Amino acid sequence: MSQVIIVCEHYSAELENLSLTARYNDLEVRFFPGRCGMPPIDWPELRDSLDDNLENKTLHVISSGCIANLPEKDQRIFQQYNYRLSQCLHTVVNPDLADYYVKQGYYLVTPGWLRRWREILAEWGFNRDTAQSFFKDTSSAVLLLDTGIDDKALANLKAFSSYINLPSESVNVGLDYLELLLNNTVLKSHLEDSNSCKQEVAASNKKDLADFVMTLDLLNSLARVRTEEEVIRNIKDMFTMLFAPKEVVFTAVDDQRFSPGKTVERINTGSFSILVTGTEEPLGTIEVKDLAFPEHRERYINTAEKIINICGLAIENARHYQQIKDISDTDGLTGLANRRKLEEHLGKEWRRMLRSSNHLTLMMVDIDYFKNYNDFYGHLAGDDCLKKVASVLKEFCRRPGDLAARFGGEEFTLVFPDTEPEGAFHLAETLRKAVENLQIRHEDSRAGEYVTVSIGVISRVPDAKSSPPEIISEADTKLYQAKEEGRNTCVI
């Protein structure tokens, strides 16, 4: 049975870039106008406008509130993982990550949406004032999920964020997640077609069909895995279940054994190795060692070749997830953790020290007379100064639980678990001297001829009556005391 993917025109460039119709000769792609649910398009009306020849075709409709009266049987893409995806953005980025961004106050957009943002706001009945009011009430910033197919996306993002008077950021999500999602959807449909005709399947093919059912379930699970380590572990488990080898080994970026154009090496009668590739380059190799049933090796290789591309996509998707998560936790100027990451990390270390009854040290660090520095040398020099000071702070965070974060402006926060008061004060003094030893000239400072810092330090054993916000407040009080005592000093 032929298949039809029906998707909003905002994703037309992404679908065309994936060239799915060239990969699957029974697949068509249709696009509908992007209204973003204001008002929603009535499904019977949309179906009639698309084509009167959709009978006896399997429909995969990507919709999340933008189509009214859409039968559940046609919402296949949004139900294939046993939970319903709540918005169309979940097709280009992991739903957990998208929801995480929304909770942080971001309004999420795609390149396709940004191409039409003026037209869309007009369709919604917004002028500049009402648009600014609407977005300010619902969001604190705009975040572009950049699929990488529109070279005007960043310019459109800048124009849109300026129009609604909100800051903007961009993260590169690529097309891996979308490709993985759609490939699995098409393969699942093929499987269902095979099952409907299974009485006609010869007994010799039933084992292949059973393998395919299990493989598809395992591949679908890869799309939900977040870290590269977890993905590779799941891929190894999948190969073990499918082929019953003694061992499965993944080696990163190891394509030296393969001649150009070759993706499989038959090592001996009971083993083989297959190349895992991403969208642009090799990612590694999977070696399947000592098959329990070596007589089936060629059939196993055939199965492995069918699924290896999706394995590569899953690895790349995990890498993109981590890159995006790292960006969301990092201050863009200094490269240190941002305020959100600090609060998350401090809460975790607070609970850990509470369980172990060990000291937790927190330092608030402020660059002395930084406003004067900015006014005297200019903001570019000020940014450079912040980055140099941040690099010194980062050098002092060497253990897994240590963290340096930009708290805001010229103020930084450092977290040191398992650090008692005496060691904390010595560490703070060493840090203070290290900043001064940078010898960044500061001619408008009353604390010295170079850039200096004041540091407030709190070191305590957490208890059930206290909380992370309290230790931040107390460290800030000590920082204020350090400033009152003449700056370029530490108070604990």
Quote the tokens at residue 441.
């000239």
The strand order across the sheet containing 453-460 reads: 403-408, 411-417, 360-367, 453-460, 490-491
Q: Long-range contacts for 218-222 (Cβ within 8 Å, ≥24 apart)?
A: 219/184, 219/187, 219/307, 219/310, 219/311, 219/314, 220/80, 220/81, 220/184, 220/188, 222/180, 222/310, 222/311, 222/314
Q: Give whole-number Cα distances, 225 to 233, 249, 308, in Å.
A: 10, 19, 17
Is beta strand 245-252 parallel, antiparallel or unpaired with respect to 106-109?
Answer: unpaired
Q: Are residues 209 and 96 in the same domain?
A: no
Helix-helix angle 370-377:379-395, to 10 degrees: 140
- Contacts of residue 190, Cβ cutoff 8 Å, sequence gap at least 6: none
Structure-block tokens of residue 341: 């990451």
Residue 389: which residues within 8 A CB-CB, separation 6 or more?
367, 412, 435, 438, 451, 453
pLDDT at 307: 79
Secondary structure letter of residue 204 according to DSSP: G
Whether residue 10 contacts residue 1, with contact meaning beta carbons closer than 8 Å, is answered with no
Give the residue from 7, 5, 34 showing the smallest Cα distance to 113. Answer: 34
Domain membership flag for residue 187: no
| One domain for residues 486 and 373 | yes
Q: Centre a 10 Å sphere on the Cβ of residue 439 and count the other Cβ atoms it contains.
A: 10
User: Would 476 be classed as within a structural domain?
Assistant: yes
Task: Reduce the DSSP state of residue 292 to 3 states and report it.
Answer: coil
Asked whether residue 271 falls in the same domain as residue 370, the answer is no
Q: Are strands 106-109 and 141-146 parallel, antiparallel or unpaired?
A: parallel
Tell whether 180 is covered by a domain. Answer: no
Are 121 and 15 members of one domain?
A: yes
Please name the residue ranges forming H helices in 244-338.
Answer: 297-328
Residue 65 backbone dihedrals phi, psi, to 5 degrees: 90, -10
Instruction: Report the distance separating Cα 274 and Cα 279, nearest Å.
Output: 16
Task: Please report, for the domain that includes residue 218, its CATH number.
Answer: 3.30.450.40
Q: What is the Cα–Cα distance from 481 to 320, expressed in whole angstroms?
A: 44
Q: Which one of 260, 290, 324 terminates a domain?
A: 324
Residue 240 lies in a domain: yes
Closest CA to 32 of 12, 60, 17, 3: 12
109 & 226 share domain: no
Question: Residue type for 164, please?
Answer: I
Does one domain contain both 115 and 202? Answer: no
Tokens found for residue 442: 């500061």
Element (H, E) at 454: strand 453-460
The CA distance from 389 to 447, in Å, is 16
- Residue 179 in domain: no
Domain boundary among 324, 354, 380: 324
- Other beta carbons less than 10 A from residue 328's beta carbon: 18
Backbone angles phi, psi at 4, to 5 degrees: -135, 120
Cβ–Cβ < 8 Å for 76, 22: no
Mark whether 418 and 372 lie in a shared domain: yes
- Give the tens place of pLDDT for each residue, 350-393: 999 999 999 999 999 999 999 999 999 999 999 999 999 999 99
Using the 3D structure, point to which of 324, 350, 372 is the last residue of a domain: 324
Distance CA 148, CA 315 (A): 18
What's the number of domains the chain is made of? 3
**DSSP category for residue 16:** H
Whether 411 is in a domain gets the answer yes
CA 374 from chain centre, in angstroms, equals 35
**Cα–Cα distance for residue pair 472/114, rounded to 1 Å:** 40
Sheet holding 106-109, edge to edge: 106-109, 141-146, 168-172
Contact assessment for residue 214 and residue 188, using Cβ atoms and an 8 Å cutoff: no
Same domain, 315 and 345: no
Looking at the structure, tell me whether residues 313 and 343 fall in a common domain: no
Say if residue 166 is in the same domain as residue 224: no
- Tell whether 111 is covered by a domain: yes
Let me know if 410 is a catalytic residue: yes
Residue 296 lies in a domain: yes
Determine the 3-state secondary structure of 125 from DSSP: coil
User: Does residue 458 sit in helix, strand or coil?
Assistant: strand
Range of the domain at 394: 339-491
| Rounded Cα gap, residues 366 and 476, in angstroms | 10
Burial 43-66 (b: 16+ CB within 10 A, else e): beebbeeeeeebeeebbbbbbbeb
Report residue 158: phi and psi, to 5°. -60, -45
CATH number at residue 356: 3.30.70.270
376 with 465, same domain: the answer is: yes
The first and second tokens of residue 471, run together, are 């230790």
Q: 420 with 316, same domain? A: no
Cα–Cα distances in angstroms (integers) from residue 36 to residues 9, 119, 375, in the given order: 11, 12, 46
Across the chain, which has 492 residues, the per-10-residue mean pLDDT values are 81 86 81 73 75 71 70 54 57 77 86 91 90 90 89 93 90 78 74 56 49 58 72 89 91 71 85 86 90 90 83 81 76 90 93 94 97 94 96 94 94 96 96 96 93 97 92 96 95 96
Among residues 295, 410, 429, 449, the one annotated as catalytic is 410
Position 200 scores a pLDDT of: 46
